[in-house]
Amino acid sequence: MFEGVEEIWLDGEFVDFEDAQIHVLTHALHYGTGVFEGVRCYGTEAGPAIFRWEEHLDRFYDSGEVYDIDIPFSKAELTEATEELIRREELNSCYIRPIAFYGYGPLGLNPGKSPVQVALAVWPWGAYLGDEALEDGVDVAVSSWRKYASSQIPTNAKTTGTYVNSVLASQEAKANGYAEAIVLNKEGNVAEGPGENIFLVRDGEIYTTGLAESILDGITRQTAIELAEEMGYTVHDEATISRGELYTADELFFTGTAAEVTPIRSVDDNEIGAGTKGPVTDDIQTAFFDLVESGDREEWFRYL
Ligand code: PMP
């Protein structure tokens, strides 16, 4: 995955890949007290351009705020460092991973005055669930693991420690021969994928689970909602979706920075629609890829 990556930005410096090291007594290693982002830079017709960088950066700082992780760099500094890193790595398109975490310090649960460390890494990353998945769709299974409720751990923050929930769901799905999981919330309704939001199509209208369902408010989710509305679709973006409604959906698809817009062709071995990418999914996927390939919407791209 990281072949050819030469440098990482760590705490204000560009360091060689091998030298991007932290101490084993790092607070975040023990307690998951870090926040992170996943962003894509696309090789658009206007050159490399970071997709919805400001929104990702805002979510990054907001995630930090939940845990008093006071990121010791300004948004402008992180932006400059990210752009410089992409240039140094000579990448046209890539995935960008900013992370901020409590570093080496006292190992009491309250991180107190532990230093906040920040790193940025970039690497080439193709279709998360595979090129074939984008075309034909994926087979998914409802996980036996539930999503934690936002009353237990904030679900609007992208916190390193909470991803053990996603790891469990993802491992279970793969072990059972599925490409990905769908995770239900504490009430037993649909929350999201381990690293994706979920959309359902019924009778030509689009539904996606609302923030009250313990989801991360995905930036690709917001993009898909906007693109769909611009195409004239009715989008219900605060939906509650039961497990049974998944099985009877006309179409289902995932959205995410890594997964982009990926059709779902079956859930728990129940074929969804015709068992291929449906027409509404196709419309939204086409609009999404047209957008990121052209780079043609200034407010959503940061051109390098
Ligand atoms: N839900 C979870 C749990 C995720 O990890 C992600 C990926 N960040 C998403 C949804 C999709 O969010 P985005 O579109 O901002 O990548």
List CB contacts of 259: < 8 A, sequence separation 6 or more. 128, 129, 180, 193, 195, 196, 220
Atom of ligand 1 nearest to the CA of 192: 1
In this prediction, residue 163 carries a pLDDT of 98
Query: Using CA atoms, how far apart are residues 302 and 84, in angstroms rounded to an integer?
Result: 13
Eight-class DSSP state of 213: G
**What is the predicted pLDDT for the residue at 159?**
98
Evaluate: CB of 260 within 6 angstroms of ligand 1: no
Dist CA 89 CA 206 (whole Å): 40
Ligand 1 pocket check for 196: Cβ under 6 Å: yes
Domain boundaries in the chain? 7-125, 131-294
Measured from the Cα of 223, ligand 1's closest atom is 14
- Indicate whether residue 105 lines ligand 1 (CB < 6 A): no
Report the greatest alpha carbon distance in the chain. Answer: 56
- Mutational test site, ligand 1, from 56, 180, 196, 215, max ligand atoms within 8 Å of CB: 196
Distance (Å, whole) CA 139 – CA 177: 9
113 is catalytic: no
Catalytic residue among 158, 174, 186, 277: 158
Atom of ligand 1 nearest to the CA of 215: 1
Give me the pLDDT at residue 29, please.
Answer: 98
Q: Which residue's CA is the nearest one to ligand 1's atom 2?
A: 195
pLDDT at 90: 96
CATH superfamily of 131-294: D-amino Acid Aminotransferase, subunit A, domain 2 (3.20.10.10)
Enter the CATH code of domain 7-125.
3.30.470.10
- 3-state secondary structure labels for all residues of 242-292: CHHHHHCCCEEEEEECCCEEEEEEEECCEECCCCCCCHHHHHHHHHHHHHH
Residue nearest to atom 7 of ligand 1 (CA): 195
pLDDT in tens, the chain (304 residues): 899 999 999 999 999 999 999 999 999 999 999 999 999 999 999 999 999 999 999 999 999 999 999 999 999 999 999 999 999 999 999 999 999 999 999 999 999 889 999 999 999 998 888 889 999 999 999 999 999 999 999 999 999 999 999 999 999 999 999 999 999 999 999 999 999 999 999 999 999 999 999 999 999 999 999 999 999 999 999 999 999 999 999 999 999 999 999 999 999 999 999 999 999 999 999 999 999 999 999 999 999 9
